[in-house]
Chain A
Amino acid sequence: MNELIIKDVSFSYTGGENVIENINLSLKEGELVSILGVSGCGKSTLFNVVSGLRKARTGTITLAGEDITGKPGKISYMLQKDLLLPYRTIEDNVALPLILSGMRKKEARAQVQDGIKRFGLDGVQKKYPSELSGGMRQRAALLRTYMFSSKAALLDEPFSALDTLTKSEMHAWYLKVMDEIKLSTLFITHDIDEAILLSDRICLMTGKPATISEEIIITQPRPRSRDFTLTTEFLQYKKQILEKL
């Protein structure tokens, strides 16, 4: 089972108070769990710890039974900025995680072609990131994240830099792709609508130091369409979240 388990994780910057405290979270295979909280509450810090970039003060993180606490390079991580390297073509950007793991360039390129088609990047693989729109760049960044590890991904507000229309288009696209690739995803957002639309579960992160104060299960089956956002059910979820945040 490719399960990600975060157990009793706390973190503080050297000498400071805890930024996050006793975070307990589990992510089952193919599940999408959102972490919702106000800006600056410690969501990104949690991701830095889970991805191994920062050392947890306490607690452990296990992925598919393996202890990955403090070990970078085990779980894929995507940030708000696409961070595509401007000097590599789209396919070479996407193939980068494979190349970093020691695969030959030619082989890596061949291996990403499938994903390029699936992610709707066909025809732009030889282009440079600067030639693409924000939405397309974000798709490429997401594919790169997926190429790195198909076990689990951490997405840190991946769509928040996009304009509203592109964002809604990306949501529709994302729901469709997710349904095909079934990537277990931990998703940070401060957009309540986005969280309800995309997630199986929503964890509310509040307080100082931040903890996960509430877990809301969205029962609406996937794949969901955009119309879901217009239902009374959706509004009820939203009301419930707003009350608790």
Chain B
Amino acid sequence: MKRKLRSTTSNLLPVASILALLAIWELVSDTGLVPKFMLPSPVDICAAFISDFPLLWENSWVTLAETFIGLLFGIIIGFVMAMLMDFFTPVRKALYPIVVITQTIPAVAIAPLLVLWFGYEMVPKIILVVFIVFFPVTVSLLDGFESTDRDTINLMRSMGAGKMQIFRYVKFPAALGNFFSSLKIAVSYAVVGAVISEWLGGFCGLGVYMTRVKKSYSFDKMFAVIFLISALSLLLMFGVKLLKKKCMPWENKE
């Protein structure tokens, strides 16, 4: 009973802290401590969200489509690269530094170049998302493949398993945990990546919408988009959690 009570309190705690933050914000804005045109109150933001909902909805789909297509290709590329690097040591030696270097290039810096090369449509956005996603996926999978227990691999060899069989039955499932951890990070990066590349040129999407409302100084609408983007990221992260539960049933049993 006591334990149950405690777990309810600990579940309520984050909700309470978020509500408190919003309350303070509302107060600061309503009392005029910060001018309303600079910092709209949460209530104003909700109103803006509701009045602009059709537009937000429409643009969300574009951004989400870019995110998903980018994620898909990013994961495929990450998977293939990790697999090649695991199978062939020379490939790993040759590619690993390049993979790391790609991550030191700021995404914001290459986004405008991508727009110049590939135009204002979806392609440059998707490429940027792929660019952001493939790195965590590659590295986490490779780590997972390499951390497989030596004894287990020896046992598999003693049972006559080939390289591909060891990969399929031991290394791949062993790396799944790592993969999902990286995917959780990758999805939120992917959404942000799509938005950033939309800022820098495009016809539709949440990023384009954002630059538009910024230019008209509609801060309430600006915040409405920001909240929507966080909500989408959270939703995707939750989706990854569900997927993980589905794909790794043994994790739920102890």
Chain A residues in the interface with B (C-beta under 8 A): 48, 51-53, 72-77, 79, 81, 83, 85-88, 96-97, 99-101, 127-128, 130-131, 148
In the complex the two chains form, is B151's CB within 8 Å of A81's CB?
Answer: yes
Contact of A130 among B156, B173, B248, B250 (CB under 8 A): B250
In the complex the two chains form, is A83's CB within 8 Å of B151's CB?
Answer: yes
Contact of A79 among B155, B253, B254 (CB under 8 A): B155
A86 surroundings in chain B (CB, below 8 A): 250
**Known interface pairs A83-B152, A85-B152, A100-B169; A76-B254 also in contact (CB < 8 Å):** no
In the complex the two chains form, is B151's CB within 8 Å of A79's CB?
Answer: yes
In the complex the two chains form, is B169's CB within 8 Å of A73's CB?
Answer: no
In the complex the two chains form, is A83's CB within 8 Å of B161's CB?
Answer: no
**Known interface pairs A83-B151, A86-B250, A128-B253; A76-B173 also in contact (CB < 8 Å):** no
In the complex the two chains form, is B160's CB within 8 Å of A100's CB?
Answer: yes
CB distance from B234 to the nearest CB of A (A): 28
CB distance from B113 to the nearest CB of A (A): 43
Residue of A nearest to B248 (CB): A87
In the complex the two chains form, is B173's CB within 8 Å of A53's CB?
Answer: no
**In chain B, residues 152-192, which have Cβ atoms closer than 8 Å to a Cβ of chain A?**
152, 154-161, 165, 169-170, 173-174, 176
In the complex the two chains form, is B149's CB within 8 Å of A87's CB?
Answer: no
In the complex the two chains form, is B253's CB within 8 Å of A96's CB?
Answer: no
B248 surroundings in chain A (CB, below 8 A): 87
Contact of A127 among B170, B176, B253 (CB under 8 A): B253
Q: List 6 A-B contacts (CB under 8 A).
A: A53-B154, A72-B160, A75-B158, A85-B152, A87-B174, A96-B169
Interface of B is mostly: helix
Interface 1/0s, chain B 243-254, versus A by CB < 8 A?
000001110011
Of the candidates B157, B158, B248, B253, the one having the most CB atoms from chain A within 10 angstroms of its own CB is B158
Docked CA distance A80–B55 (Å)? 63
In the complex the two chains form, is B254's CB within 8 Å of A130's CB?
Answer: yes
Please give 16 more A-B residue pairs, beta carbons under 8 A apart, in addition to A53-B154, A85-B173: A51-B158, A52-B158, A53-B158, A72-B159, A73-B159, A73-B160, A76-B158, A87-B174, A87-B250, A96-B159, A99-B169, A100-B156, A100-B169, A128-B250, A130-B254, A131-B253
In the complex the two chains form, is A76's CB within 8 Å of B159's CB?
Answer: yes
In the complex the two chains form, is A77's CB within 8 Å of B158's CB?
Answer: yes
Docked CA distance A178–B173 (Å)? 33
CB distance from B141 to the nearest CB of A (A): 15
Docked CA distance A130–B161 (Å)? 24
Docked CA distance A163–B154 (Å)? 26
A51 surroundings in chain B (CB, below 8 A): 158
In the complex the two chains form, is B169's CB within 8 Å of A85's CB?
Answer: yes
Of the candidates B152, B155, B160, B174, the one having the most CB atoms from chain A within 10 angstroms of its own CB is B155
CB distance from A98 to the nearest CB of B (A): 10
A75 surroundings in chain B (CB, below 8 A): 158
In the complex the two chains form, is B165's CB within 8 Å of A100's CB?
Answer: yes
B254 surroundings in chain A (CB, below 8 A): 130-131
The 4 closest A-B pairs by CB, nearest first: A73-B160, A77-B158, A87-B173, A128-B250
CB distance from A43 to the nearest CB of B (A): 16
Docked CA distance A99–B170 (Å)? 13
Contact of B159 among A79, A81, A97, A127 (CB under 8 A): A97
Docked CA distance A83–B152 (Å)? 6
CB distance from B49 to the nearest CB of A (A): 43
B165 surroundings in chain A (CB, below 8 A): 100
A81 surroundings in chain B (CB, below 8 A): 151
Docked CA distance A238–B254 (Å)? 41
CB distance from A147 to the nearest CB of B (A): 10
Residue of A nearest to B174 (CB): A87
Docked CA distance A51–B160 (Å)? 10
In the complex the two chains form, is B159's CB within 8 Å of A83's CB?
Answer: no
